[in-house]
Amino acid sequence: MARTMASTRLTLPPLLIRFLVIAGLVGLWEIASGSGWINAFTAPAPSSVWKGFEKIVAEGGLGEAMAITFATALMSAAIGAVFGIASGYILHIWKAAGEAYTSWLAALASAPLVLLYPLFLVIFGRNMWTIVAMGALGCTPPIALKAKEGLDGVKPVLLNVGRTFNLTPKQQFWMIMFPASLPSIFTGIRIGLLFAIINVVGVEFLVNVGGLGQLIANLGDRFDYPQMYAGIFFVILVSVAFFWITEKLEKWLLSNT
Amino acid sequence: MADVKQAPVLRLKDVAKTFVTPHGNVRAVEPVTLDIRQGEFISIIGPSGCGKSTLMNIVGGLIEDYEGSVEVDGIQVRGCHKEVGMVFQEESAFPWRTALNNVTFPMEAAGITKEERVQRAMELLHLVGLDGFENRFPAELSGGMRQRIAIARTLAFRPRILLMDEPFAALDEQTRLLLGDKVLQIQQELNQTTMLITHNIAEAVQLSDRVLIMSFRPGRIKRVVEIDLPHPRSSKMMGGERFGQLVAAIWEDLREEASKGLQELERVRG
Ligand SMILES: Nc1ncnc2c1ncn2[C@@H]1O[C@H](COP(=O)(O)OP(=O)(O)OP(=O)(O)O)[C@@H](O)[C@H]1O
Ligand SMILES: [Mg+2]
Give, using CA atoms, the residue closest to atom 5 of ligand 1: B19
| Cβ contact A157–B106 (<8 Å) | no
The domain locations on chain B are 41-66+75-83+161-269, 93-158
Work out the percent of chain B whose per-residue pLDDT is above 90: 55
Q: From the list A160, A167, A171, which residue is nearest B88 (CB)?
A: A160
Q: Is the CB of B215 under 6 A from ligand 1?
A: no
Q: For residue B269, give the amino acid letter.
A: R
CA B98 to chain A, closest CA, distance in angstroms equals 9
Q: Is A182 touching B (CB cutoff 8 A)?
A: yes
| Cβ contact B80–A164 (<8 Å) | yes
Give the pLDDT confidence score for residue B2 in this predicted structure. 42
Give the pLDDT confidence score for residue B264 in this predicted structure. 79
Q: Is residue A142 within 8 Å of residue A193, measured between CB atoms?
A: no
Judged by DSSP in three states, B62 sits in coil
Q: pTM of this prediction?
A: 0.81
| Cβ contact A158–B85 (<8 Å) | no
Q: Is residue B207 within 8 Å of residue B233, measured between CB atoms?
A: yes
**For residue B188, how far is the Cα from the chain centroid?**
15
pLDDT tens, position by position, B131-168: 999 999 999 998 889 999 999 999 999 999 999 999 88
Q: At what angle do helices A178-207 and A128-152 cross, to 10 degrees?
A: 150
| Cβ contact B60–A166 (<8 Å) | no
Q: Is residue B213 within 8 Å of residue B201, measured between CB atoms?
A: no
Give, using CA atoms, the residue closest to atom 2 of ligand 1: B19
Q: How close is the Cα of A119 to the center of ligand 2, in Å?
A: 57
Give, using CA atoms, the residue closest to atom 29 of ligand 1: B49
Strand partners, B225: B211
Q: For residue A79, give the amino acid letter.
A: I
Q: How close is the Cα of A237 to the center of ligand 1, in Å?
A: 55
Concatenated DSSP letters of B65-96: --EEEEEETTEEE-S--TTEEEE-SS--S-TT
Sign of CA dihedral B127, B133, B137, B139: negative
Residues with CB under 5 A from ligand 2 (ion): B 53, 89
Domains in chain A, please, with CATH? 61-253 (1.10.3720.10)
Residue ranges of alpha helices (H) inside B69-192 are 99-109, 114-127, 143-156, 173-190
The number of C-alpha atoms within 13 Å of B194 and in the hemisphere containing its C-beta is 31
Residues near B119 by beta carbon (within 8 Å), at least 6 away in sequence: none
Which carries the bigger pLDDT value, residue B122 or residue A214? B122
How far CA B23 is from CA of A156, B35, B92, B265, in Å, comes to 22, 34, 29, 18
Concatenated DSSP letters of chain A: ----HHHHHHTS-HHHHHHHHHHHHHHHHHHHHHTTSS-TTTS--HHHHHHHHHHHHHTS-HHHHHHHHHHHHHHHHHHHHHHHHHHHHHHHHSHHHHHHHHHHHHHHHTS-GGGGHHHHHHHH-SSHHHHHHHHHHHHHHHHHHHHHHHHHTS-HHHHHHHHHTT--HHHIIIIIIHHHHHHHHHHHHHHHHHHHHHHHHHHHHHHT-SSHHHHHHHHHHTT-HHHHHHHHHHHHHHHHHHHHHHHHHHHHHHTT-
Q: Is the CB of B54 under 6 A from ligand 1?
A: yes
Q: Is the CB of B51 under 6 A from ligand 1?
A: yes
Tens of pLDDT along chain A (257 residues)? 444 444 445 567 777 887 888 888 888 888 888 787 877 777 788 888 888 888 888 877 888 888 888 889 999 999 999 999 999 999 998 888 888 888 888 888 888 888 888 888 888 888 888 899 999 999 999 999 999 999 999 999 999 999 999 999 999 999 999 999 998 998 899 889 888 988 899 989 888 887 888 888 888 888 888 888 888 888 888 888 888 888 888 777 766 55
Q: Is A253 touching B (CB cutoff 8 A)?
A: no
Give the pLDDT confidence score for residue A11 in this predicted structure. 63
Architecture of domain B41-66+75-83+161-269 in this structure: 3-Layer(aba) Sandwich (3.40)
Task: Name the residue of chain A whose CA is nearest to B137's CA.
Answer: A255
Asked if pLDDT for residue B5 goes beyond 60, the answer is: no
Asked if pLDDT for residue B194 goes beyond 50, the answer is: yes
* ipTM value: 0.89
In terms of DSSP bridges, do strands B161-165 and B193-198 run parallel, antiparallel, or are they unpaired?
parallel
- Burial grade of B81 (CB within 10 A; 0-12, 13-18, 19 or more): buried
Which carries the bigger pLDDT value, residue B231 or residue A89? A89
